[in-house]
Amino acid sequence: MAGEKLAGADYSGTDLHNGNFSKADLSKANLSDVNLYKGKLSGANLSGADMSRIMLFFADLTGANLTGANLTAAKLDDADFSDANLTDANLAGAQLNRNKFFHTTFCHTVMPDGIVNNANCSAEKTRADAAGAVIAGVASINGCAIKPQTVCNNAALAEANLASVDLTSAQLYLANLASANLFKANLAKVNLTEANLARANLDRANLSQANLTDANLNKAILRGARLERANLTGATLLNVDLTDADLTGANLTEATLTGATLCHTVMPNGILSYANCLPEKKPEPAMPTVK
């Protein structure tokens, strides 16, 4: 079926495992309850297709057009969505585990938990919600809704002013927050795996239980930051300022702390570190008064 014109076709309930539909036109097709285990759908046009409850375990959907597709309750474990377009797609209740989303387009995409993902809308889609706009009372920067539990993977938030924002439990995997202002931001339980936070201002930010696995925190300011039980496995913290920060229970396995400032810093074991506090400057003696 590779390359075939199958727009509007009805395959509902059919067993098509290992089927090859590469570059096929399946726009508005009925693929509900279809078994496409290990299916080949690379480059396929699945726009507007009904794919509810479809079985796509280990399927190849690289470069597929899934604009407006209905993927509610779909079984998508281990499927490859690299370079696919999921604009306006509905993945509510879908099963997503160990998937590949390299360069995948998420725009107005309903994720399995019901949260809308606007991670990388095109300029046309975002002109109404450009950087700093407010949509339905929620701030949006480059298509990323700034609110608790938002899903915004690959978010483009470099140099963004996010002081005091609440992003509790947000999914910000691979986010670019380089030089962003996150002063007093609430990032508790946020997923910042492989995120770029180099030179970010995280002064007094709440990062308790945050996932910062393999994150780049080089030269970040974390003075007074809360990092209790944060996961910093493999994170790079070169020349980071951790003065007065609380790392109680944090996981620093394979983390790099070369050049980090540890002063009044509560370490994972609860012990205060004064490893490299800057010496206090003594006041210069007053010049004698000449009579």
| 175-234 pLDDT tens trace | 999 999 999 999 999 999 999 999 999 999 999 999 999 999 999 999 999 999 999 999
> Which pLDDT score, from 0 to 100, does residue 276 have?
84
- Other C-beta atoms closer than 10 Å to the C-beta of 131 total 14
What CATH number is associated with residue 63? 2.160.20.80
The verdict on residue 197 lying in a domain is: yes
- CA torsion angle for 33, 109, 123, 126 (degrees, to 10)? 140
8-state DSSP, 60: B
The verdict on residue 253 lying in a domain is: yes
Average pLDDT of span 248-256: 96
> Looking at the structure, do residues 174 and 270 belong to the same domain, yes or no?
yes
* pLDDT class of 247 with cuts at 50, 70, 90: very high
What is the C-alpha separation between 45 and 29, in angstroms, rounded? 10
Q: Looking at the whole model, is its pTM more than 0.75?
A: no
> Which pLDDT score, from 0 to 100, does residue 131 have?
41
Query: 232 near 257, Cβ under 8 Å?
Result: no
The verdict on residue 139 lying in a domain is: no
> Looking at the structure, do residues 167 and 111 belong to the same domain, yes or no?
no
Query: 156 near 178, Cβ under 8 Å?
Result: no
| 57-100 pLDDT tens trace | 999 999 999 999 999 999 999 999 999 999 889 999 999 988 89
What is the C-alpha separation between 27 and 34, in angstroms, rounded? 15
Report the domain count for the chain: 2
Q: Which of 121, 149, 179 is the last residue of a domain?
A: 121
Q: Which domain holds residue 84?
A: 1-121
What is the C-alpha separation between 192 and 152, in angstroms, rounded? 10
Q: Which residues contact 156 (CB under 8 A, 6 or more apart)?
A: 120, 142, 144, 176
Taking alpha carbons only, the member of 255, 83, 61, 220 closest to residue 154 is 83
What is the C-alpha separation between 163 and 165, in angstroms, rounded? 6
CA distances from 181 to 70, 165, 221, 224, 273 (A): 38, 10, 10, 15, 26
The verdict on residue 291 lying in a domain is: no
